[in-house]
Structure 1
Amino acid sequence: MSAPEPAGTVRMVSVSPLYLAGGGDPAWVTVPLHRACGWSHGTDPLLPRVLLSSPDQKAMLRLEPKADGPWWTIQHARTADQPAWYASFGARTPVEIVAAFTDALTSPCRPAVAPDPFEPLRKAGWQAPADDAFVSPDGLVRVDRTDSWAIRTAPSPIAPAFWRADLSGNTPAHLVTLLTSALSSNTAVVRAPAQVPHLARARMNLTTPDIPAEALASALEDRVRALASHRAAHAAPARPHPSAGHGRTR
């Protein structure tokens, strides 16, 4: 019989590696996009989906439960210096991985030089069975770069995937790099016991910490504040309006 939880705490499960943790709470992605980044949402109470549009109307996130398709889809329109692109993530993709991608998408910081998306995997000790592929040390995740990007998490190459992600080849390199950084992170995440997938429990590192209920309740609010502060700190300064004294004179 397990020990009772201390007063004011909640028994959770700490899971690593991140890519086996299961989906988690979609609000970890959608609420900060709306409240910290100004993405607008439509209202359609008759459909079990979420649609969020960026302030410039260039990007859209769709969260829609599908039995045989991706749950998360992000589409970005063409811009002056970037072709149109898309990214999709399956239902069991951990929300922390999707959030790493959307946080990078909405960040006002952009690298001056396009990074190598494979570099975080090299640094984390992933193996390269081919020039355009990397496999996690436990063999459960494979990242391929052909004409597009594909991430597949499965117990074997022929087994059904726990989850997969697909990104067009035009997806900006710094977004893919933040995605691979999250994918290869050793940081554990917490889930409610019922949220932990049973399919891969034997391959996970699991502990059952008692977490203060207040910390759990405030985690999403803390994330929204942190993301809003980051955006405010790195926002481009407003361009000054020309003063009347700089106009033409007769």
Structure 2
Amino acid sequence: MITWRQLDAFTNEYESKLGSPVSPRYLAGPGDPRHITHALCAAGWSVPCDPLHPVIRMQSPDQQHELVFQPSAQYARQWWTVHSGHGPDRWYATFSGSTPVEIIAGLTDTLLRPEPEKEPREDLAAILTGRSWEHTTDGLGGHRIVSPDRTTVVEQRISPSMGRCGWQIEVARTHRPHAPEGRLWCASLDIRTPAHVLGSVATALSNPAPVPRPRFAIDESPHLTVGREIEISEQIVTAHQERLAAARRHRPAATAVTTTPAPSTPSVTRPPAAADHHLRHKDSL
């Protein structure tokens, strides 16, 4: 569970801090990692690692999912890795250091809920195109989906030797015909990633709602819309508390320990002393 010291540290960090709502969120910058780790902890995920080690490992209560957060001096490297499932159903997803935490949370929040019994009606491509992203396919059946501002590309390629590959997300200041220029962050989603997880990532990626960022954490991308600067401390802390409360509702109920009561010894009722004396007197007559 999240301790009061951890919550106080989160609150104190944002006290009297100025910032602005920014959109689109895929250009918002990384944000606070506790948006993810605090929510998982509130939902019952354990932290089976050395608390003094910079790498954080978290495991779901059913041991089916694992999150690894490994910060690096290079934001382009993989900071976040999710492993899920076992055996042939095992899949993974990775995100680089500058990935907005709200987008990663689109995936991790899904892992807190039971898997849907039916496949979702909309897949990743349908969700993005439904929000005005441009979708094209190549002759092999590969997909390329581009955001309206041309900064974000979501691709699934078909390799002649390996077949269909997983989904790749690449965000840059701009995409030239042959290569991105000014890469901001990237992500990889394994080919075995379930459809409902892919859909959650697509929904978070294309969510038009702005997210708050502190003043000096806002990128200067020309495609980023920055709202009026305000004191964001109360907004961020309140939203975080509500997020943790929602995560706690997915925490597995504690298993009740039932104990079998010891068999009771039958009690022997003795007659009253006066009646016992009367019977002995009767027998002697």
| Counterpart Cα distance in 1 of 2:153 and 2:236 | 32
| Counterpart Cα distance in 2 of 1:109 and 1:171 | 12
| Counterpart Cα distance in 2 of 1:52 and 1:166 | 20
Matching residue's letter, 2:86: R
| 2:95 is the counterpart of 1:84 | no
1:177 Cα deviation from its structure 2 partner: 0.5
| Counterpart Cα distance in 2 of 1:221 and 1:43 | 25
The verdict on how the C-alpha distance between 1:197 and 1:101 changes in structure 2, with shifts beyond 3 A counting, is same
Query: Which structure has the larger Rg?
Result: 2
Q: Which runs of 5+ in 1 are unaligned?
A: 1-7, 239-250
**Matched residue SS, 1:180:** helix
The verdict on how the C-alpha distance between 1:19 and 1:212 changes in structure 2, with shifts beyond 3 A counting, is closer
TM-score, normalization by structure 2: 0.72
Q: Deviations over 1:23-70 (max 9, x none)?
A: 0000000001011x2110034244322110111112110000132521
Matching residue's letter, 2:77: G
Query: Aligned to 2:227, which of 203, 207, 214?
Result: 207
Q: Which runs of 5+ in 2 are unaligned?
A: 1-14, 158-164, 256-285
1:111 Cα deviation from its structure 2 partner: 5.0
2:40–2:247 Cα contact (<8 Å) kept: no
2:212–2:236 Cα contact (<8 Å) kept: no
Q: Which residue of 2 aligns with 1:135?
A: 146
| 2:238 is the counterpart of 1:218 | yes
**Matched residue SS, 1:162:** strand
Number of residue pairs matched by the alignment: 223
Q: Which residue of 1 aligns with 2:66?
A: 60
1:197 Cα deviation from its structure 2 partner: 2.3
TM-score, normalization by structure 1: 0.81
| 2:48 is the counterpart of 1:42 | yes
Matching residue's letter, 1:220: H
**Matched residue SS, 2:207:** coil
The verdict on how the C-alpha distance between 1:109 and 1:169 changes in structure 2, with shifts beyond 3 A counting, is closer
1:110 Cα deviation from its structure 2 partner: 1.6
Query: Aligned to 1:70, which of 60, 69, 78?
Result: 78
| Counterpart Cα distance in 2 of 1:23 and 1:212 | 17
Please tell me the root mean square deviation across aligned C-alpha atoms, in Å.
2.4
Output aligned runs, 1:228-243, within 5 Å: 228-229=248-249, 231=250
Matching residue's letter, 2:114: P
